[in-house]
Amino acid sequence: MTHIKDKTVLITGGASGIGKIMARKVLEKGGNVILWDINPQGLDQTKNELETLGTIATYVVDISNIDTLNATAIQTLKDHPIVDILINNAGIVVGTYFHEHTQEQILKTMSINANAPMLISSHFLPLMIQRNSGHICTIASSASFISNPKMAVYAASKWAAFGWSDSVRIEMKKLKSAVKISTVTPYYINTGMFDGVKSLIPILDPEKTASKIIRGIEKNTKVISMPWNMQFIRFFQGIFTINFFDWFVGDILGIYKTMKDFKGRS
């Protein structure tokens, strides 16, 4: 078990969405919270809302900027020498066909969704290994498993995040380290990030999603899939032909049409 009470938990993208909800749940369990986010107003509002529940510190940081990311990590460790749990939650999505992406959008998506979790973890994981204690949880996506139109770059970033996170999990096992690694692969979450998405599969409730993530961390769950049957996607990809899989997932389940009316968060 990973205990949260009296532990320090760093959450990126903590000013809104499930990051904010997870922060509240950590505080309610007696943990201390550090929030990173690019939105200073959102951080201030979140701190004002939650500080009666416990200790909360905030840092304004653009994690797509490596210099800012590194400086913030160094400052965070000066202020809080022990970070027990790191939740790589921050993410973005553009939601358009690949050929319509600008190079800036491609680089920013990969920087935030794929590179940043690795770069942030490079500051905190070595210290966890030294203490032989800690937990890193990375919010990937069900898009880590499945291709989808208008999500090419997003899917690429989440495939990368999943592959990295799960590889580190195995590395910790090989090293016989007590540091735990969890990777989360949720379906669409109703936080505003995917406004306009239409799906036959129910879109996830943010409150329930945050609860399952925190519970998964506490139980040291290796892969936290939501809904649970998303973990079988790779099995079906292995036994079906590509044409059959595309037909079933695209035409029957309608997954390939979910982003048709995507608007996203304003």
C-alpha distance across the termini of the chain, in Å:
39
Q: In the chain, how many H helices and how many E strands?
A: 9, 7
Q: Which residues are catalytic?
A: 154
CATH 3.40.50.720 for the 8-257 domain, yes or no: yes
Contact between 237 and 254 (Cβ < 8 Å): no
pLDDT of residue 233: 87
CA 164/CA 197 separation, integer angstroms:
28
CA 135/CA 138 separation, integer angstroms:
10
Could you tell me the pTM of the whole model? 0.94
Q: Is 125 left (phi over 0), alpha (psi -120 to 50) or beta?
A: alpha
Q: Is the torsion defined by CA of 196, 214, 228, 240 positive or negative?
A: positive
Regions of the chain where pLDDT drops below 70: 265-266
Q: Which tokens go with 7?
A: 């532990």
Helix, strand or coil, per DSSP, at residue 200: coil
Q: At what angle do helices 66-79 and 116-131 cross, to 10 degrees?
A: 30
pLDDT of residue 56: 97
pLDDT of residue 266: 58
pLDDT digits (tens, 9 = 90+) for 86-135: 999 999 999 999 999 999 999 999 999 999 999 999 999 999 999 999 99
Share of the chain above pLDDT 70, in %: 99
CA 81/CA 145 separation, integer angstroms:
36
pLDDT of residue 31: 98
pLDDT digits (tens, 9 = 90+) for 31-43: 999 999 999 999 9
pLDDT of residue 1: 85
pLDDT of residue 229: 81
